[in-house]
């Protein structure tokens, strides 16, 4: 996994970076979340336990949320498919949730062996209440009363992420891939934690993928809205739903590495540990024009040609796609000529064939002449809350890309984002160009 994330600073005269303000109050309440690579084996779990011990010895009340060991969920999913390709989603949840159950128990044992009072918790024991969408459940409520009560006894709660319970049926549910992030943020909101630390295999959020742009920088702070845009565009550090929850409940979320030495001196002080704080925009003293450059390779372009330009046609195109649960992103419609137009849009690459089949099924209703498509495309996005108050941001991008001979197939915008669809062959050139144009290079 890599971090194709954010960066900030204006195109020129970038000010000196602000010092990150992530200090805890005395006796803070803290949620620590560790992903699969962080708990990949017993040795890694012992290192995680040392991170937890450090925070406990600093006087904090700690709840830990853990994922399954790296690769375990994939193995469990494969077993389900091997047993039966068409299987009961409720039983699927029961099986795949077991990975987190194992990890939470093992971490509790290791903590106890270190002399730290700890107890493992499953989602249903809190409970974490969800709807009944098995495999992709949404959290409705978190009851953290018992965990908070045990904080008074100095006990660490080790909670299995990714899972909850549908109370009316009493069935275990799972939250979808990456759901442990969502569990951690929801628990942090439920117990009114001072901060939620997401420990992962990267040391924060970067301006873009460092493998493409060696000058990419780690950010100190990112606004919730910016992180939400990045996560929705395919960034791997945080799940989209976890960022949504953090923004709604204003849960300060700190992305940091679990591969640093737990006993490093800089981690034992009340100062600023290395990482990226995701916080409310108000905590960022001055928003930069552009925060960073993201890209997503899993995009496909669909174009329907010679469509009658009349009321209701757009609905006839996009309603069948919505009914097939196909997400549509960028939409471009040409100016009408002789009563006909072309409509172009993007869908996830995995849904490309299904999208074409759905449209073919309503061809007579729409009246288009042909369907064309391409999967060798990439979406490159420019993100920054500073765009709201600055003109010319898009013009600079379009000019820079044209000077590199990069053709833009489609464009979409929001208040804080500009996305362009280009040929995949130009991905690295486009990202490097835009990264430099907006002054993001270290």
Residue-by-residue pLDDT tens, the chain, 442 positions = 233 333 333 333 333 444 445 555 567 899 999 999 999 999 999 999 999 999 999 999 999 999 999 999 999 999 999 999 889 999 999 999 999 999 999 999 999 999 999 999 999 999 999 999 999 999 999 999 999 999 999 999 999 999 999 999 999 999 998 899 999 999 999 999 999 999 988 888 888 888 889 999 998 999 999 999 888 775 667 888 899 999 999 999 999 999 888 887 777 665 567 899 999 988 887 667 898 899 988 899 999 999 998 899 899 999 999 998 899 989 988 877 788 999 999 999 999 999 999 999 999 889 989 999 999 999 999 999 888 878 889 999 999 999 999 999 999 888 899 999 999 999 999 999 999 999 998 7
From the list 242, 257, 218, 274, the residue with the least C-alpha distance to 44 is 257
182, two tokens: 């969502």
Residues 136 and 191 in one domain: yes
Task: Tell me how far apart the alpha carbons of residues 435 and 429 are, in angstroms, rounded to a whole number.
Answer: 10
- Is position 24 within any domain? no
Domain count, the chain: 2
The count of other CB atoms within 10 Å of the CB of residue 309 is 17
Residues 305 and 257 occupy one common structural domain: no
Token pair of 206 as six digits: 């970067």
Output the known binding site for substrate. Answer: 73, 100
Domain limits at 372? 292-437
Per-residue pLDDT reduced to its tens digit, 415-431: 899 999 999 999 999 99
Give yes or no: residues 296 and 432 share one domain.
yes
Q: Are 259 and 306 part of one and the same domain?
A: no
pLDDT of residue 16: 40
Residues in the annotated binding site = 33-36, 73, 100, 200-201, 206, 211, 236-237
Distance of alpha carbon 28 from alpha carbon 20, whole angstroms: 18
Say what the pLDDT of residue 25 is: 58
Cis peptide before 127 (omega within 30 of 0): yes
What pLDDT score was predicted for residue 234? Answer: 59
Whether residue 303 sits in one domain with residue 214 = no
Non-local (6+) Cβ contacts of 357 within 8 A are: none
Quick one: tokens of 139? 């959290």
Q: Tell me the C-alpha distance between 166 and 168, whole Å.
A: 6
Each residue's pLDDT tens digit, 84-129: 988 999 999 999 999 999 999 999 999 999 999 999 999 999 999 9
Angle at 382 between CA 341 and CA 403, to 5 degrees: 75
Alpha helices in 8-123 (DSSP H): 42-57, 72-83, 89-96, 98-113
- 190 domain-assigned: yes
The strand pairing partners of 417, in sequence order, are 383, 414
Asked if residue 17 is part of any domain, the answer here is no
Q: Can you tell me which residue has the tokens 């018992």?
A: 146
Residue that is last in its domain, among 282, 316, 343: 282
In sequence order, the 6+-apart residues with CB closer than 8 A to the CB of 80 are 87, 91, 92, 95, 96
Residue 309 contacts residue 340 (beta carbons within 8 Å): yes
Say if residue 228 is in the same domain as residue 111: yes
**pLDDT value for 6:** 34
| Domain end among 263, 282, 301 | 282
Pairing assessment for the beta strands 253-257 and 221-223 based on DSSP bridges: unpaired
Residues 244 and 371 in one domain: no
Residue 226 shares a structural domain with residue 324:
no
Verify that 269 and 312 share a domain, yes or no.
Answer: no
Q: Are residues 181 and 245 in the same domain?
A: yes
Q: Are 364 and 235 part of one and the same domain?
A: no
For residue 20, tell me if it sits in a domain: no
Binding residues for ATP: 33-36, 200-201, 206, 211, 236-237
Phi/psi of residue 368, each to 5°?
Answer: -80, 165
Q: Are 274 and 378 in contact (CB under 8 A)?
A: no
Q: 278 and 297 share a domain?
A: no
């Amino acid at each position: 996994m890599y971090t194709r994330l954010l960066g900030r600073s204006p195109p020129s005269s970038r000010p000196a970076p602000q010092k990150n303000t992530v200090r805890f109050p005395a006796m803070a309440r803290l949620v620590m979340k560790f992903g699969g690579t962080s708990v990949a084996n017993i040795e890694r779990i012992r290192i995680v336990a040392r991170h937890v011990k450090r925070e406990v010895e600093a006087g904090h009340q700690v709840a830990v949320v853990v994922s399954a060991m790296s690769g375990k969920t994939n193995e469990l999913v494969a077993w389900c498919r091997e047993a039966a390709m068409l299987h009961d989603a409720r039983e699927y949840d029961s099986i795949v949730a077991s990975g987190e159950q194992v990890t939470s128990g093992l971490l509790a044992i290791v903590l106890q062996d270190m002399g730290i009072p700890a107890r493992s918790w499953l989602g249903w024991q809190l409970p974490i209440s969800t709807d009944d969408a098995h495999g992709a459940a949404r959290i409705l409520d978190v009851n953290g009363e018992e965990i908070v009560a045990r904080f008074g006894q100095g006990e660490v709660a080790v909670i299995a992420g990714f899972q909850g319970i549908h109370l009316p049926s009493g069935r275990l549910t799972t939250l979808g891939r990456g759901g442990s992030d969502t569990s951690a943020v929801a628990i942090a909101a439920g117990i009114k934690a001072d901060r939620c630390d997401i420990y992962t295999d990267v040391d924060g959020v970067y301006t873009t993928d460092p493998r493409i742009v060696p000058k990419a920088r780690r950010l100190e702070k990112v606004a919730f809205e910016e992180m939400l845009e990045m996560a929705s565009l395919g960034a791997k550090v945080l799940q989209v739903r976890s960022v949504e929850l953090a923004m709604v409940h204003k849960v300060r979320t700190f992305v940091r590495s679990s591969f640093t030495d737990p006993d490093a001196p800089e981690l034992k002080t009340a100062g600023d540990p290395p990482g990226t704080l995701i916080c409310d925009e108000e905590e960022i003293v001055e928003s930069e024009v552009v925060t960073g450059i993201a890209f997503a390779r899993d995009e496909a372009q669909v174009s329907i040609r010679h469509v009658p330009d009349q009321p209701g046609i757009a609905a006839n195109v996009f309603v069948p796609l919505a009914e097939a649960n196909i997400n549509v992103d960028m939409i471009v419609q040409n100016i009408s000529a002789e009563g006909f137009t072309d409509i172009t849009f993007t869908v996830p690459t995995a849904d490309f064939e299904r999208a074409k089949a759905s449209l073919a099924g309503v061809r007579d209703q729409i009246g288009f002449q042909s369907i064309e498509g391409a999967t060798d495309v990439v979406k490159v996005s420019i993100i920054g809350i500073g765009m709201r108050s600055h003109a010319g941001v898009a013009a600079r991008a379009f000019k820079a890309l044209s000077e590199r001979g990069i053709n833009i197939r489609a464009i979409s915008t929001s208040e804080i984002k500009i996305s362009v669809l280009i040929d995949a062959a130009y991905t690295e050139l486009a990202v490097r160009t835009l990264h430099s144009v907006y002054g993001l290079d270290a």
